[in-house]
Amino acid sequence: MIFDFFKPQVEKPEELDLKFTAETLKKNAVSGVVVLAVRRISVQLIQTLSTIILARILFPETFGVFAIMVFIVEFLANLPSSGFMAAIIQKKEKIKQADLSTIFWTVLLVSVLFFLMLWMIAPQVANFYKLKVENGLTLTRLMALAIFLINIRMISLAILERQIRYLRLSIIEGGELLIIQTLAVLMAIKGFQIESLVVSYLVGKSLGTLAFYILSPFKLALGFAKDSLAKFLGFALNYQVYSLAYAVSGSIAPLYVGYIVGPAGTGYLTWAGGIGLLPWAFSELIAKVSFPVFSRIQNDKRRLSSSVNYSLNLILMGVLPLTVILLFFAEPITNVVFTYKWLPAVWALRFFVLLSATVAVSSVAASLLIACGEVRFVRNVSIAAAFCFWILAFTLIPKIGFTGHPLAWFLGSAIQFLMIIKVRQIVKIDYFRTILIYLFFAVVSTLPFWYVVKIFGNAFELVAVLIAIVVVYLILVFLFRKNYVLFYLGQLKVFLK
């Protein structure tokens, strides 16, 4: 069994698509969700432990400089590759080796251009961000190598996702992270500062790229086919715009907040986002697996409708109770768990929760539309949402401070409900009714406890109330959505066997 894991993904190098039956597709989807959930927990534990150790050795400025480097490098690396990755996963026709070679050389060419650009403007980047560390310029240029390391693996990673092989993907990425964090800690203990972070990052990425190719190989040819590029380019560009719309709102906007309200406001914003976006994180696990599954069965409307229905119910079953609990108990959770000093960010936390729920609820719709080739529609909705966000952000942030960022993002994201309306043209599913059912269960479970118990003396009382809410909610779900609960438990049982 262990040796099967290291066998190539396909029997022949020319064959890139596995033959899925209804059962194998379902099994791979369930295992994908479980594997990604375990991976997320494992990654969080590794990062938390390593951060605790590194924070005791390195200076805050060191972390800040490295974070800026990583943001710039990964932003440039993902620009040419993420759209093509999605196009490979989504394509309903069989993909040829010539297609993959053409995409690889295209992405590599753009990567070379970005590498040279970053190499040349590295002094300006160092000056702009005040990277006042020893060898800052050299390390910035060295980090630019990661553009190649990230994009060389792109084809292998896309093949794994197209084949819904998340176990291999998770093992590689988990091992890569463990190497990075372990090496960083060892080098920091030896007295290295930012060098420990840069070197460990590059070593980990290098070994990860090698592992991707070993476990997900493909035949690379020295050639370029215009027809192959044309088949993927339109989808890739539209998907890239869709991804950038989220990046602009989530990653770049905090830089504007920091300019307006200062570092304290940015700190509150970072904390509130870390807690408030938890529902979104749960939905991402399901949506990530749903996209390749929907892509494989996009021509079978009956199976597609069933898959969308079960994916939607699973997301809503987990997201909406968490959303309602965080909305009602944002203040006591903040005060008891994180102390009173974070109370100024309570409303920012609530708006992040609302944003998270909005995106989570529409995530299945987005995955379905992209899988069925409606990426242009999703792109247009995302552009409209980003446009609304920036108009609101420039208005609200100067007036109400950092809280204006999540409020503007939430209001702008409401336009994504257009995707839910569009979905009804593709599959037969009562999307809004399903949302209202789980929302009703969540509110009925939470509201009585919130009304009766508003002041908590200690963490034990808070935890007891939250557990009681969850128990009531689970009872309601089991009583009225029993068939879905039994289905999910049955699939989990099959996976564990």
Residue 20's pLDDT is 56
472-490 confidence digits (pLDDT tens)? 999 999 999 999 888 888 8
> What is the Cα–Cα distance from 444 to 469, expressed in whole angstroms?
9
What letter represents residue 10's amino acid? V
Q: Mean of the pLDDT values across residues 400-426? A: 89
Boundary (domain end) residue, out of 224, 255, 275:
224
How many domains is the chain built from? 2
Q: Whose CA is closest to 384, among 237, 248, 235? A: 248
The residues near 3 (Cβ < 8 Å, ≥ 6 apart) are none
348-372 confidence digits (pLDDT tens)? 999 999 998 998 888 888 888 988 8
Pick from 4-8, 191-195, 261-265, 423-427: least confident: 4-8
Pick from 184-193, 194-203, 256-265: least confident: 256-265
Q: Is residue 172 part of a domain?
A: yes
The domain in which residue 213 lies consists of: 10-224
Residue 1's pLDDT is 35
- Tell me, yes or no, whether 98 and 247 share the same domain: no
Q: What percent of the chain has pLDDT over 90?
A: 18
More confident residue, 5 or 294: 294
Please report which confidence band the pLDDT of residue 8 belongs to, taking 50, 70 and 90 as the band edges.
very low
Residue 112 near residue 165, CB atoms below 8 Å:
no
Q: Whose CA is closest to 369, among 423, 414, 315? A: 423
> What is the Cα–Cα distance from 97 to 357, expressed in whole angstroms?
40
Q: Is the dihedral of CA 372, 374, 379, 384 positive or negative?
A: negative
Residue 163's pLDDT is 80
- Tell me, yes or no, whether 97 and 187 share the same domain: yes
Pick from 9-13, 270-274, 302-306, 314-318: least confident: 9-13
- Tell me, yes or no, whether 219 and 246 share the same domain: no
Q: Whose CA is closest to 297, among 286, 289, 305? A: 305
Pick from 326-330, 450-454, 488-492: least confident: 450-454
pLDDT at 463 over 50: yes
Q: What percent of the chain has pLDDT over 70?
A: 83
- Tell me, yes or no, whether 271 and 186 share the same domain: no
Residue 5's pLDDT is 38
Q: Is residue 33 part of a domain?
A: yes
Residue 355's pLDDT is 92
Residue 316's pLDDT is 92
Boundary (domain end) residue, out of 224, 258, 282:
224
Boundary (domain end) residue, out of 195, 224, 253:
224
Residue 411's pLDDT is 93
Q: Is residue 233 part of a domain?
A: no
Residue 254's pLDDT is 56
Q: What angle do CA 467, 472, 477 make, to 5 degrees?
A: 120
More confident residue, 411 or 266: 411
More confident residue, 101 or 268: 101
> What is the Cα–Cα distance from 85 to 81, expressed in whole angstroms?
6
- Tell me, yes or no, whether 255 and 354 share the same domain: yes
Residue 53's pLDDT is 76
The residues near 419 (Cβ < 8 Å, ≥ 6 apart) are 362, 365, 366, 369, 377, 378, 381
pLDDT at 188 over 90: no
**Burial class of residue 175 in the structure, from the number of CB atoms within 10 Å of its CB (0-12 exposed, 13-18 middle, 19+ buried):** middle
- Tell me, yes or no, whether 251 and 210 share the same domain: no
More confident residue, 41 or 438: 438
> What is the Cα–Cα distance from 416 to 413, expressed in whole angstroms?
6
- Tell me, yes or no, whether 21 and 149 share the same domain: yes
> What is the Cα–Cα distance from 449 to 217, expressed in whole angstroms?
55
Q: Is residue 229 part of a domain?
A: no
116-162 confidence digits (pLDDT tens)? 998 888 888 777 656 555 566 778 888 889 998 888 888 888 888 88
Residue 90's pLDDT is 80
Residue 18's pLDDT is 53
**Burial class of residue 414 in the structure, from the number of CB atoms within 10 Å of its CB (0-12 exposed, 13-18 middle, 19+ buried):** middle
The total of other beta-carbon atoms located within 10 Å of residue 16's CB is 22
pLDDT at 61 over 80: no
More confident residue, 485 or 251: 485
Q: What is the DSSP string of 23-43?
A: HHHHHHHHHHHHHHHHHHHHH
Q: Is residue 5 part of a domain?
A: no
- Tell me, yes or no, whether 33 and 147 share the same domain: yes
Q: Mean of the pLDDT values across residues 438-453? A: 89
11-51 confidence digits (pLDDT tens)? 444 445 555 555 666 666 667 667 777 777 787 678 767 76
CA atoms within 13 Å, Cβ hemisphere of 411:
14
Residue 2's pLDDT is 34
Q: Is residue 403 part of a domain?
A: yes
Residue 470's pLDDT is 93
- Tell me, yes or no, whether 193 and 297 share the same domain: no
State how far the alpha carbon of 98 is from the alpha carbons of 11, 151, 229, 368, 401, in Å: 18, 18, 10, 27, 52
User: What is the b/e burial string over 81-116, where b = at least 16 CB atoms within 10 angstroms of the residue's CB?
Assistant: bbbbbbbbbbbeeebebebbbbbbbbbbebbeebbe
More confident residue, 481 or 96: 481
More confident residue, 193 or 186: 186
Residue 202's pLDDT is 93
Q: Under DSSP, is residue 158 helix (H, G, I), strand (E, B) or coil?
A: helix
Q: Under DSSP, is residue 443 helix (H, G, I), strand (E, B) or coil?
A: helix
Q: Mean of the pLDDT values across residues 310-334? A: 90
- Tell me, yes or no, whether 393 and 311 share the same domain: yes
- Tell me, yes or no, whether 202 and 306 share the same domain: no
> What is the Cα–Cα distance from 198 to 185, expressed in whole angstroms?
12
* Six-digit token string for 230: 């044309």
Q: Is residue 90 part of a domain?
A: yes
pLDDT at 6 over 50: no
The residues near 476 (Cβ < 8 Å, ≥ 6 apart) are 441, 444, 445
Residue 438's pLDDT is 95
- Tell me, yes or no, whether 371 and 464 share the same domain: yes
Residue 435's pLDDT is 92
